[in-house]
Structure 1
């Protein structure tokens, strides 16, 4: 099988709805190309990897509960939050400034047809990225995403540092992961993050764990590298901020 070619897109600071619309358009283009290749096997497939930072927004996955949003519609407006119900899996999560969000639009026919492996691979990208900064990320058998281990002796709970939620149609992916680099963690107090209300679990960021400010521009190149490494693809080009 040929090595997949993936276009990287650096979208900068972008409204969630705009990014979602772009995902849907690229997803349809990838699916259309997949179908066209049945009659034109020589036609190359193109995959996309979007990197973006959103204004403050809460998104609710199709299996989530609206009760996990702890603000009223009026409070959302007053505090400048947007709330959207979307088509990814999972429950409610928060996106905002200081969070590095990655949306792979991959035709998994060119990688592997295994949803479980796909999600584990996204986790592996984040775990390797964290390792580059001296942080030890790990999986939790009961929950999707990437965590940092708790320390009972320090009364420190298990901390979630990256949320993952995906959607697949015709083996083509949408949505992805959100790594907390330096977001305002108090915004997570307005939801039950990912529907997890356990007292021994919390949310953290790379900046908090490292004890110093960390910029997205420091983290993004390492995440790009590990995406190519884990999914074994060739990055073809990078688009700078703007809607394609």
Structure 2
């Protein structure tokens, strides 16, 4: 899953300021009551935030469901000479490891790929089990307002040097789902193109959904921010940043 997409992901996402995003994660740690050194990251993708946090001195254990994404991330970390990252293939809703961490993070709306409230709560439980006492869980989600008003049923076209991509959004608001249909052409050295098609699905969650599941698992001191700030977040914003503490 996402293995072909992994090869073009970074070129399509050049507009994302990953260093600034990583700085924001770092600042959010000041919500905590402990020193933060070890981080478990779910949905690490091609390792952009992973590597930025590792450069800050954190020890990162990074997990993703896609072998292709992990391969790109591992090569990236190797080029940067980062020795404080371990990569694992795994599912964020049932991952197990014989270790606990100061923080668990999930970025870039990875949580929106969880298909229902049961999977969402399973992710919270998995994260809770992986945290030290007073450790923090940090993650962001796209809101239903963003899916309905910004993403909607738009089509985006990317015409880059070696990649041409058509990204079509297909909303299913009745079932709180957004389908992304991608067709991309990757240029070969001889001037020919390889065509790939991929469909991804994201799911909508409200603050109320998230809060109920976090409380059920046992998290406390739960905060919801308007992403990128420390101002209160709401379902009417585009993206919410969540911070929750293990008892």
With a CA cutoff of 8 Å and minimum separation of 6, indicate the structure with the bigger relative contact order.
1
State the TM bucket, normalised to the shorter chain: under 0.3
What TM-score, normalized to structure 1?
0.26
